[in-house]
Structure 1
Amino acid sequence: MRKSLLLLFVASPFCTPAIAQDSVPDEGRAIVVTGGGLPLPPGTPAYGSTMIDRDRLLGSASNRIESVLADVAGFQQFRRSDSRSANPSAQGATLRALGGNASSRALVVLDGVPMADPFFGYIPFSALVPERLSLIRVTRGGGSGAFGAGAVAGTIELASALRADLPGVSGSAFYGSRDSSELSASINPDVGSGYVSLSGRWDRGDGFYTTPKGQRTIADVPAAYEGWNVGLRAVAPLSADMELQMRGLIFQDDRTLRFAGADSMSQGQDASIRLIARGLWQVDALAYIQARNFSNVVISSATFRKSLDQRNTPSTGIGGKIEVRPPIGADHILRLGVDSRLATGDMFEDAYNAMSGAVTARRHAGGQQVTTGFFAEDDWTLGSLVLTGGIRADRWTITDGFYRSQSPAGALTQDSHFADRSDWEVNGRAGALLHMNNTIALRAAAYTGFRLPTLNELYRPFVVFPITTQANAALAPEKLKGMEAGFDLMPLDGVTLGATIFYNKLDNAIANVTIATNVRQRQNVSAIVAKGVELTASARVSDVSVTASYAYSHSAVDAPGAAFDGFVPSQSPRHAASVTAAWAPRTGPSLSTTLRYVSKQYEDDLENDVLPDALTVDAVANLPLGKGMSVVGRAENLFDKAVVTRNAGGSIDLGTPRTLWIGIRFGQ
């Protein structure tokens, strides 16, 4: 059933151009296809945001979306590794040092569709290709608003490339260090009054040793990787002010982590259909389906034999949204709507005796979640002042949770069924934006939000040797309260400056809490309190541009009576900064370099294991050859800084070393 629905979604774009050709424009008006969503309400800047444009998306040294997002100081994954050498289930996205576990506390959406894995909550970064996007908007700070539930740390909006961004044919081919290859191509024909974009990417590499030389064993191997994805997007006008947008994505990502045989696989098939109406009554209607899977083999570091085979984790996400903007006057933009998401998943795994290799247990766990939210927001323009505010009420349910374990012979050794739960969460946000003049704007906002624990947090224990982390079916939702204030300044043409101070409190924060030697459990702690300042700057003079971002996040756990009370949440740095300088004349060669700094952070809740600070430098050079072709050189971690990504009692993992690429790009 799941695959049949996906095939129907993916096949539908091929049928729409005929409809588009037969459409008759309303009252003779010309049809204009954009491929984007509804216009941003005027109060959006009150919540503060950072934009990453298409030029920057195409100019990353790694050509991976998580590296581009690192331009926004305060963005982080659970670990510092990228999507070539991290375990996929550890690739959650968060902001403002509200970390502590691997699930996403930031809501990541692509054309309005939540991208988090329905079971684990991680983001499939390897499937999100930069050249398929027109922009990214990162809003640090909670408050779900009209986006959906789950935005306790912020919202990361990815927007697909528009027609104007897409040449008829484009592609690239790169070869890099350690026998790495990267191929991508897209064809983007006009069909009738609309267009279709078909794109694909494949990359692989022998990888690098994540283990420091002094800790390697006979079982250590480089972190080899291979992945591919195919995307299809079609946009068809239905009238002069209405269009249908359809998107399909299929991907698979295979990685080997540290030891021979420690292989992981993640795959997915996503499809969505979206109706955009830009007339007097504006409408954004969306429906989507996601089928995901994950597997992972854990190798014992003592015997180098398989100790766990997480062989199958199928999950499904189904959801939709309807937003309506009725015409209530030129000074107001009112947004009314409802959104809903169903997440269901199962985990099948086999445990092994690491000495004999015999199966010791077969486990099966899973459950279901449904969140349905009703929202209303209004932006009211009063001359140079814009007031914005909204409220949403979410009904959530957690049902059918279970954990079952059997002996190798099939005898039931544990059969736990957990109570169904449900409740309402009411949240809101409000902001003000005051344009003092053409040079300076002041803004302030306050908000609340919530996040349900993922099915993974509720029901699936895991092991990252030597640490075992237990699940907890009794976890309560996280709840955020926050406020911020700041300004945006344009003192000179081409120069912008911004500053934000913030205070966020995440109640019932879910953390991996140490309960015994080498044993942790997911628990709700009283709160994580994060406060700090964020600075942004950009300047362009002739062919030279500089963009910079800095975040200071004083984040601490509030857990009276616990050993970690007042400690920094695990994986949460105090300081993060990024600076990109580029020389890019209209014609001829171009060059850019990016410096990134992340201060020290702790692996664990008790601050025993330190991940040292890291300063890395990337560079990209582009030499046009004419006729849309260019030679591109890319350098990641140019000075080969050793970046520690894991430290478990002195057992170290490292991030990407110096990686050099050379290749050809055409049609961009």
Structure 2
Amino acid sequence: MPRYIIALTALGCALPAAAQENSTIVVLGGVLPLPPATPAYGSVTIDRDRLTDSASGRIETILADVAGFQQFRRSDSRSANPSAQGATVRALGGNASSRTLVLLDGIPVADPFFGYIPFNALVPERLSLVRITRGGGVGAFGAGAVAGTIELASATRADLPLLSASAFYGSRDASELSASFSPNLGAGFVSISGRWDRGDGFWTTPENQRVSASVTARYESWSTSVRAAVPLRTDFELQAHATVFRDDRTLRFAGADSRSEGMDASIRLIGRGAWQVDALAYVQARDFGNVVISATNFRKTLDQRKTPSTGIGGKIELRPPVGKAHVLRIGADTRYATGDMYEDPYSTVTGLATAHRHAGGDQTTTGFFIEDDWTLGRLILTGGARADRWSIRNGFNDSTSPAGVLTHIGYADRKDWRVSFRGGALLRLSEVASVRAAAYTGFRLPTLNELYRGFVVFPITTQANPALKPETLKGFEAGFDVKPAGGVTLSASAFLIHVEKAIANVTVNTTTRRRQNVDAIVAKGIELNASARRGDASLSASYAYTDSKVKAPGQQFDGLRPAQTPAHAASTTLAWAPERGPSLSATLRYVSTQYEDDLQTDALPGAFTVDATASLPLGHGASLVGRVENLFDKAVITRNAGGSIDLGTSRTIWVGVRFAR
């Protein structure tokens, strides 16, 4: 991997569960306690039991337990183009970049160039929990949280057995192997884990559209991770993390291969004394390549040979002792991203390259933040602000002809300040009921990909736009949480958000789209969540309704829904999991109609799918496990470009063995 340095994604961020906001329990490999006003922003938590019991074994499908979460398309990380795997919530889609800030142990994981999330490297068994906050964020790295934050917490010492392993065999000659070894290391611990999977893949092309060049969505990926946590003294802990991964996929046509790879590393210092400290630094080294095959003569039309990128950043957060009624957080963070795109277009007649293109640039965001939670009996007030200095620099686009003639375009550097705020209130009416409200602002820079790299998904070419401006957010939400009976929790939120200068793929003509800032996307809706547990049985459910519209006076798409955004999304998981004996679970999901494009000419019909898992203990830490994805083999349309269709995961059956001691 050229230009790669081993990387470091530290943290242990084993976020204490939402019910333990003020817990002082120290968990080795964990983080500082959550501030007491955290529930004011309506977070939803996915626990480790769920993370280790899903039909797909992939984090992106587990995140869909929280209705409203979506990627750009409905495909998972076996059959989507990696560069299309942005994460967002609240029906703010419309392009493939992430409007939601995704953190692993407090560190941004999005690709520095594209903004997509490398889901294949985020293995669920390595996590202790996930917390999804669908509103805006102002704290550390909050500059990217236009549509909320997804916080992934690595497994702590308490979560990890000494040795665990699993082996599965699935439909279409698919294999999945994983293992971890987590011994104590003096007073600390180290965890070494790896995962590899491959498959011949399902048909993404409908039978009536297949041609001689059509192939199944073959895939192969692997990742390895090393994480360590060591106490330095009674109130300080050092955590370090490194991950290396690679993912190869073939999409639709023979030769239409994509490749993504990376090496990330981080180091983190946690101080739990009178002055609490959370300091971290990280580096990311990534690359991406992709070949585009013509859908008419099935020859190579574009070779996006490589897109090397580097991300470097860090944070320091201090919590000074200001009295029991206050939790004050002050700090600063910075992120630097640089990347280059190298691609060669090819003539489908001669088979020769017609040009050599090279484009790229740099971005920096440095923010200073302050936030305080003030407890007044049953009322908790919270408020915070960020000031960010951002810059977009050294942008260029070069094209060299086969004869060696260079055409160079350079773009002017840009920089500015952006100030963001958020505030909220949480009122505990009783031991079983509370109400909350929050308001926030925020912003997101366009990615280097949006600025400098176009792409082709036949028959549509989407052009880059180096003049894109940052998106800005204003939002408000209110809701309540109740526990009407033991083991039962209900919550509801209503929200209104307004994203100005939203970046969208705008139709220019029947074969061309261009990334542009539109006046605004306005989304309003409701989110409902419920969970219940009685004995060995449990249920969790989530529903989101979003009325999302593009505001673009004078444009054809004014008043229409943004591309790729459903109005309704729902997910329910029912499980039977006794402490001893067989366990069963089923997950039902529904997503309503979406549209491929901004003009709503190509529809993606609604889809209802069912997944299921079963486990039978064999003794001595071993279990026989069965998993079924898309049990009823529902045809889920993930792309519709003028009638050219791609399909999502077909029924996939897995059988395997899992071991933990």
Which TM-score band (shorter chain)?
A: over 0.9
1:549, distance to aligned residue in structure 2 (A) = 0.1
Q: What CA distance in whole angstroms lies between the structure 2 residues aligned with 1:356 and 1:522?
A: 31
Matched, 1:276 2:270: yes
- Whether the 8 Å CA contact 1:530–1:553 is kept in 2: the answer is yes
Q: What CA distance in whole angstroms lies between the structure 2 residues aligned with 1:252 and 1:6?
A: 14
Q: Give the structure 1 partner of residue 513 of structure 2.
A: 520
Q: Give the structure 1 partner of residue 470 of structure 2.
A: 477
Q: What CA distance in whole angstroms lies between the structure 2 residues aligned with 1:286 and 1:143?
A: 19
Partner of 1:557, secondary structure, is strand
- Whether the 8 Å CA contact 1:513–1:522 is kept in 2: the answer is yes
Partner of 1:564, secondary structure, is coil
TM-score normalised to the size of structure 2?
0.97
User: CA, structure 1 residues 434+2, in 2 after alignment: closer, same or farther (shift >3 Å)?
Assistant: farther
Out of 552, 557, 564, the position equivalent to 1:571 is 564
Runs of 4 or more, structure 1, over 2 Å off, are 1-7, 143-148
Render the CA deviation track for 1:194-219: whole Å, top value 9, x for unaligned.
00000000000000110000000100
Residues 233-244 of structure 1 correspond to what in structure 2 (within 5 A)?
233-244=227-238
Residues 330-341 of structure 1 correspond to what in structure 2 (within 5 A)?
330-341=324-335
Q: Give the structure 2 partner of residue 461 of structure 1.
A: 454
Matched, 1:261 2:255: yes
Q: What CA distance in whole angstroms lies between the structure 1 residues aligned with 2:579 and 2:155?
A: 22
Q: Give the structure 2 partner of residue 606 of structure 1.
A: 599
- Whether the 8 Å CA contact 2:283–2:310 is kept in 1: the answer is yes
- Whether the 8 Å CA contact 2:138–2:384 is kept in 1: the answer is no
Query: Percent same amino acid at aligned positions?
Result: 70
1:368, distance to aligned residue in structure 2 (A) = 0.1
Partner of 2:143, secondary structure, is coil
Out of 337, 350, 355, the position equivalent to 1:356 is 350
- Whether the 8 Å CA contact 1:144–1:152 is kept in 2: the answer is no
1:4, distance to aligned residue in structure 2 (A) = 7.7
Q: What CA distance in whole angstroms lies between the structure 2 residues aligned with 1:308 and 1:633?
A: 41
Render the CA deviation track for 1:20-42: whole Å, top value 9, x for unaligned.
xxxxxxxxxxx965101110000
Q: Give the structure 2 partner of residue 252 of structure 1.
A: 246
Partner of 1:415, secondary structure, is strand
Q: Give the structure 2 partner of residue 288 of structure 1.
A: 282
Out of 610, 634, 651, the position equivalent to 1:641 is 634
Q: Give the structure 1 partner of residue 615 of structure 2.
A: 622
- Whether the 8 Å CA contact 1:78–1:92 is kept in 2: the answer is yes
1:276, distance to aligned residue in structure 2 (A) = 0.2
Q: What CA distance in whole angstroms lies between the structure 1 residues aligned with 2:126 and 2:428?
A: 34
Q: Give the structure 1 partner of residue 191 of structure 2.
A: 197
Render the CA deviation track for 1:547-573: whole Å, top value 9, x for unaligned.
000000100000000000000000000
Render the CA deviation track for 1:163-189: whole Å, top value 9, x for unaligned.
010000001000000000000000001
Alpha-carbon RMSD across the aligned residues, in angstroms, is 1.4
1:141, distance to aligned residue in structure 2 (A) = 1.3
Partner of 1:163, secondary structure, is coil
Matched, 1:302 2:296: yes
Farther off after superposition, 351-360 or 527-536: 351-360
Q: Give the structure 2 partner of residue 318 of structure 1.
A: 312
1:2, distance to aligned residue in structure 2 (A) = 8.9
1:66 alignment partner AA: E
1:666, distance to aligned residue in structure 2 (A) = 0.4
Q: What CA distance in whole angstroms lies between the structure 2 residues aligned with 1:489 and 1:33?
A: 28
Out of 58, 77, 83, the position equivalent to 2:52 is 58
Q: Give the structure 1 partner of residue 30 of structure 2.
A: 36
2:207 alignment partner AA: K
Q: Give the structure 1 partner of residue 6 of structure 2.
A: 6
Partner of 2:61, secondary structure, is helix
Q: What CA distance in whole angstroms lies between the structure 1 residues aligned with 2:229 and 2:641?
A: 49
- Whether the 8 Å CA contact 2:436–2:480 is kept in 1: the answer is yes
Q: What CA distance in whole angstroms lies between the structure 1 residues aligned with 2:142 and 2:492?
A: 27
Q: What CA distance in whole angstroms lies between the structure 2 residues aligned with 1:422 and 1:85?
A: 38
- Whether the 8 Å CA contact 1:2–1:291 is kept in 2: the answer is no
Matched, 1:407 2:391: no
Q: What CA distance in whole angstroms lies between the structure 2 residues aligned with 1:2 and 1:207?
A: 29
Matched, 1:142 2:136: yes
1:361, distance to aligned residue in structure 2 (A) = 1.0
Partner of 1:512, secondary structure, is strand
1:318, distance to aligned residue in structure 2 (A) = 0.1
Matched, 1:557 2:522: no
- Whether the 8 Å CA contact 1:144–1:150 is kept in 2: the answer is no
Q: What CA distance in whole angstroms lies between the structure 1 residues aligned with 2:402 and 2:433?
A: 69
Q: Give the structure 1 partner of residue 410 of structure 2.
A: 417
Q: What CA distance in whole angstroms lies between the structure 1 residues aligned with 2:271 and 2:399?
A: 51
Q: What CA distance in whole angstroms lies between the structure 2 residues aligned with 1:184 and 1:517?
A: 45
- Whether the 8 Å CA contact 1:230–1:250 is kept in 2: the answer is yes
Q: Give the structure 2 partner of residue 20 of structure 1.
A: none
- Whether the 8 Å CA contact 1:223–1:257 is kept in 2: the answer is yes
TM-score normalised to the size of structure 1?
0.96
Q: Give the structure 2 partner of residue 17 of structure 1.
A: none
Q: What CA distance in whole angstroms lies between the structure 1 residues aligned with 2:332 and 2:307?
A: 30
Render the CA deviation track for 1:340-381: whole Å, top value 9, x for unaligned.
000000000000012221111110000000000000000000
Q: What CA distance in whole angstroms lies between the structure 2 residues aligned with 1:2 and 1:388?
A: 46
Matched, 1:542 2:514: no
- Whether the 8 Å CA contact 2:4–2:285 is kept in 1: the answer is no
Out of 514, 522, 533, the position equivalent to 1:529 is 522
- Whether the 8 Å CA contact 1:611–1:646 is kept in 2: the answer is yes
Q: What CA distance in whole angstroms lies between the structure 1 residues aligned with 2:468 and 2:375?
A: 42
Aligned length: 648
Matched, 1:109 2:97: no
1:344 alignment partner AA: T
- Whether the 8 Å CA contact 2:27–2:158 is kept in 1: the answer is no
Q: What CA distance in whole angstroms lies between the structure 1 residues aligned with 2:85 and 2:458?
A: 18
